[in-house]
Chains A and B, each alone.
Chain A
Amino acid sequence: MKTGLDHYVDLQSWLHQWEPRCKLIGLTALIFAFAGVQNWRLIPYMVGITLAIYALSQLPLKFWLTRIRYPGLFLLGMAALLPFVAGETVLWSLRGISLRQEGLLALVLISARFLSIITVVLILLGSTPFLTLAHTLRTLGVPALLTDMLLLVYRYLFETGESLTQTQRSMKLRGFSPKLERKTLQGLASLTGTLLTRSYERSERVYQAMRTRGYGAGYRRANRPPAWGSLVGLSLCLTTALGFAIAGVILG
C-alpha cells in the first residue's frame, strides 16, 4: 500500500511553510465556502482562486493528475446522467434522448465544485506531512482518544495489509479460488476472523509496550504562537470564505 501523498511535502513554497494550524483552518473555511456555492456565476471566482493557490503551492501538475483519477471517475459515475434526466428545457434531442439545460448546468456546477474542493484538499495534504496534520488536529482540540487512535491506525494499517496479503497468498497456494459458494464465504470469514484475532492479540502487546514507556501519564505539547505572515494568510482565507457566503445569499 503506497499512497504517494507525502511525495512533495518537502517543497519550500509559502504554502509549505504556512503554520499548520492557520493552514488547516484557512483552507477548511475555503473548502466549505466552495461547497456552499449554488450559483453558476460564482464558478469562475472559485476556480480562479483554486488555481492561484495551486500555483502558489508549487506542487507539480503530475501530483494533481494522479490523485484526481479515482474520485473523478466516481463522481462522473454518479452525476453523468443528470443532463439527460433532470430539468425542463430541452437543448437537443435525438431518438428520445434529450439533453436538458438545467441538468447540464447542475453537472457543470457539481464538477466545478468537486474539482475545486478536491484541489484545495490536495494542496493541504500535499504540503503538510500526515503526522503534522494529526498533531495539528490535536492542538485544535480534537479529543486525544481520537488522535491517538488515528496515529495507531495509520501506523498499523500497512502491516495489517501486508499480513492479509500473505495469508491470501498462502490460501491461493493451497488451491483456494473464490467462487460464489458457501465454502468461499467460509474461507473469507475465517481469513477476516484471523485478521481480527491477530490484531486484537497484537494490541495487547502494543499496549504493554506503550505502558512501559509511560503511556497514560498525560502530556501536552507546547504550542508556539503562529507568525504574522501565517495569520495574514489565515485572515485572507476567512475573508474570501465569508465573501463567497455573502455573494451566495445576494445572488440567491
Chain B
Amino acid sequence: MHIPDGLLPAPVLIGGYALTGLGTWYSLKQINRRPDPSAETPKAALLTAAFFVASSIHIPIPPASVHLVLNGLLGVVLGYYAFPAILIGLFLQAVMFGHGGLTTLGVNTAMMGGAALLAYYLFQFHHSCQGFLGGNRALALFAFLAGALGVGLAALIFAFLILTTLPADVNAGAERVAIYGLMLAHLPLMVIEGIFTAMLALFLQRVKPELLKLG
C-alpha cells in the first residue's frame, strides 16, 4: 500500500511529513532513553532489511496471489524502531524501485508506521492476559490482532485519503460504497496477515524468544 506521487494535494503531503517527523522524533526519543542505543542500530537495520525482503513473499489466494504487508509484525518485533524502520524501508522502495514516491513518503510512513506502532501497543497486552489465557494462546491471539490491525488500519487510512482528496468531487454515496468495498476486500487479507503473524510469533517464541522482547 503505497500512495504514488502526484495524487495527493500539497497540504496533505506536508501534513504527512509533519506527522512522520513527529512519529520519528517520538520514536527516537524513546530509543535514546535506552542504555546503549548505538548497540541496537545494527539489529534494527538488519531486521529492517529482513522485513523488507520478506514482504516480497507471496501468498496464494486463488486466482491471484498477494504479498504480505507485515507492518503489524514489524511493530510487534521492532517496537519503537518500527517507525524509523518503515521510514527507511519506504524511502528505499521509492528510491530503488519506484514504489510509492518521495513526496508521499511522509504520508505513507505515517500511515504504515502509525499502524505498526498501534499494533505494537496492542501486542504488549499479551503480557497481562497470560494469566487466564495461557502463555502461547495469549501470544498467538495478540499477535493475530496486531497483524490484522496493522494491515486493516493502514488500508482504512489509505482508502480514506485517496477518496477524500481526489480533486474532482465524486458523490458522497459512491465514496462510502467505495470505502466499504475496499474494507471488505481487505478483510481476507487481514485474516491471513493475522494468522501469519500469530504463526510467526509462535515460531519466534520457540526458536528465538529474544526477538519478541526487543521492542
A–B direct touch in complex (beta carbons closer than 8 A): yes
User: Separation in Å of the A103 CB from the closest CB of chain B?
Assistant: 5
State the majority secondary structure of interface residues on B.
Answer: helix
Contact B101 A121 (CB under 8 A): yes
CA distance A192 to B195 in the complex (A): 13
Contact among A86, A117, A145 for B166, CB-based, below 8 A: A86
- Known pairs A109-B167, A145-B41, A180-B59; A117 contacts B84 (CB<8 A): no
Contact B59 A156 (CB under 8 A): no
Tell me which residues across on chain B come within 8 A of A237, comparing CB atoms.
none
- Known pairs A32-B103, A153-B89, A203-B43; A180 contacts B60 (CB<8 A): yes
- Known pairs A125-B95, A149-B45; A35 contacts B6 (CB<8 A): yes
Which residue of chain A has its CB nearest to the CB of B54? Answer: A192
User: Separation in Å of the A67 CB from the closest CB of chain B?
Assistant: 6
Contact among B2, B84, B166 for A106, CB-based, below 8 A: B166
CA distance A87 to B84 in the complex (A): 40
Tell me which residues across on chain B come within 8 A of A116, comparing CB atoms.
6
Which residue of chain B has its CB nearest to the CB of A205? Answer: B42
Q: Is A140's beta carbon under 8 Å from chain B? A: no
Number of interface residues of B (CB under 8 A): 73
A residues 148-197 in Cβ contact with B at 8 Å: 148-150, 152-154, 156-157, 160-161, 164, 178-180, 184-186, 188-193, 195-197
User: Separation in Å of the A13 CB from the closest CB of chain B?
Assistant: 20
Chain A: interface size category:
35 or more
- Known pairs A3-B97, A70-B99, A196-B204; A206 contacts B42 (CB<8 A): yes
Q: Is B53's beta carbon under 8 Å from chain A? A: yes
CA distance A185 to B199 in the complex (A): 8
Tell me which residues across on chain B come within 8 A of A198, comparing CB atoms.
50
User: Separation in Å of the A252 CB from the closest CB of chain B?
Assistant: 14
The interface stretch among B111-119, B131-139, B149-157, B168-176 is B168-176
The interface stretch among A15-23, A74-82, A90-98, A226-234 is A74-82
Tell me which residues across on chain A come within 8 A of B65, comparing CB atoms.
178
CA distance A188 to B166 in the complex (A): 38
Q: Is A85's beta carbon under 8 Å from chain B? A: yes
CA distance A100 to B61 in the complex (A): 36
A-side residues, CB < 8 A to B, are 3, 5, 28, 31-32, 35-36, 38, 67-68, 70-71, 74-75, 78-79, 82, 85-87, 100, 102-103, 105-106, 109-118, 121, 125, 130, 133, 143, 145-146, 148-150, 152-154, 156-157, 160-161, 164, 178-180, 184-186, 188-193, 195-200, 202-204, 206-207, 210, 215-216
- Known pairs A118-B98, A121-B102 / 11 extra A-B pairs, C-beta < 8 Å: A36-B9, A86-B169, A110-B7, A117-B102, A153-B49, A180-B62, A184-B60, A196-B208, A197-B208, A199-B47, A203-B43
B-side residues, CB < 8 A to A, are 2, 4-10, 13-14, 24, 28, 31, 37-39, 41-54, 56-62, 65, 77, 84-85, 87-89, 91-92, 94-99, 101-103, 162, 166-170, 174, 192, 195-196, 199-200, 203-204, 207-208, 210-211
